[in-house]
Amino acid sequence: MKTIILAAGRGQRLRPLTDHMPKCLIPIGGAPILEHMLHRIEWCGLKDVVLVTGYEADCIHSHMTRTIGVHSLRVEFLVNERFAETNNLYSLWLALRDNTGPVTILNADDYFNVHILEALQNTPADSAAVVDFTRPLPPDAMKTHLDGSRVTFLGKTLPEQFASGNAIGMYRFSARTANLLRDEIGCWIRTGRVNDFYTAAISELASRVPVHAVSTEGLTWGEIDDHGDLAAAPSKFARILAEEESLTSCLHFRHRSPEESIVV
């Protein structure tokens, strides 16, 4: 299982903070967003990470190799050289292009309770998307329509009365369905649709292939798209830590020595 983290974006809604800093390195709770994500990936037993960078790619690579001590992860760096003229669909295409196995897909500006990722990994479904069923939906929600537990549509334009919940940007595909997603995105790339969100391709695939909804079960998560999100992040992250402590007493992320650094 490879974990693909999409971190190529410029984070323009967070300017001037992101004028010289990639969004995934913005600190919350005393550490960058990306570091929190890597710790939770490690805790879930995932080993192989593909980190797709673009904007300030050298900054991310330098930070990863110098300061983040996640000793059991093997990290592959891919650079989307076209980050300024493409969207995350193209970044995901780069990661899937030569992939042959199952994948988990995450957005680098998300932070979440580790048990949400654990639930996604434990689902027996061939394909799955994490959905928050909390109401009201936020204005920029990735609205999701379900038929039973099956996702049938993903998109921000879906009228709220038809939306079952909010897809939070965490997906898992078996080797077979990851290949189908790769082929779907490949068709879009060949026709010049490089500025789409990858969720549009997942939505199209979901019309033909069952994609199972995995509930957040009310556990806390967040994303940082703008300054309002950033202002809300410290209290949300504190809530995540409290939830994790109450659910898993053994969940402690310790500091590691430089000798235990990430394998790159």
In a domain, 258, yes or no: no
In a domain, 262, yes or no: no
In a domain, 58, yes or no: yes
Q: Give tens-digit pLDDT for 135-155.
A: 889 888 999 999 999 999 999
Residues 6+ apart with CB under 8 A from 45: 121
In a domain, 256, yes or no: no
Cα separation, 52 vs 44, whole angstroms: 21
Q: Which pLDDT does position 253 carry in this prediction? A: 46
In a domain, 255, yes or no: no
Of the candidate ranges 2-11, 28-37, 202-211, 239-248, the one whose mean pLDDT is the lowest = 239-248
Residue 66 has pLDDT above 80, yes or no: no
Q: Give tens-digit pLDDT for 172-220.
A: 999 999 999 999 999 999 999 998 999 999 999 999 999 999 999 999 9
In a domain, 243, yes or no: yes
- Domain of 15, in residue numbers: 2-248
Q: Which pLDDT does position 69 carry in this prediction? A: 56
What's the whole-number average pLDDT of the chain?
89
Residue 262 has pLDDT above 50, yes or no: no
pLDDT band, very low/low/confident/very high, at 73 (cuts 50, 70, 90): confident
Q: Which pLDDT does position 160 carry in this prediction? A: 87
Mean of pLDDT values over 96-120: 95
Of the candidate ranges 43-47, 68-72, 87-91, 155-159, the one whose mean pLDDT is the lowest = 68-72
Cβ pair 119, 218 in contact under 8 A: no
Q: Which pLDDT does position 68 carry in this prediction? A: 53
In a domain, 186, yes or no: yes
Peptide bond into 139 cis (omega under 30): no
Of the candidate ranges 78-92, 156-170, 172-186, 250-264, the one whose mean pLDDT is the lowest = 250-264
Cβ pair 70, 262 in contact under 8 A: yes
Cβ pair 175, 142 in contact under 8 A: no
Here the CATH number for the domain that contains residue 108 is: 3.90.550.10
- Global pTM value: 0.90
How many domains in the chain?
1
Mean of pLDDT values over 221-230: 93
Mean of pLDDT values over 104-112: 96
In a domain, 257, yes or no: no
Q: 206-211 contacts: CB < 8 A, separation 24 or more?
A: 206/127, 206/150, 206/151, 206/152, 206/153, 206/154, 207/152, 207/153, 209/126, 209/127, 209/177, 209/180, 210/125, 210/126, 210/127, 210/150, 211/125, 211/127, 211/128, 211/129, 211/150, 211/151
Q: Which pLDDT does position 204 carry in this prediction? A: 95
Of the candidate ranges 56-65, 95-104, 120-129, the one whose mean pLDDT is the lowest = 56-65
Q: Which pLDDT does position 222 carry in this prediction? A: 95
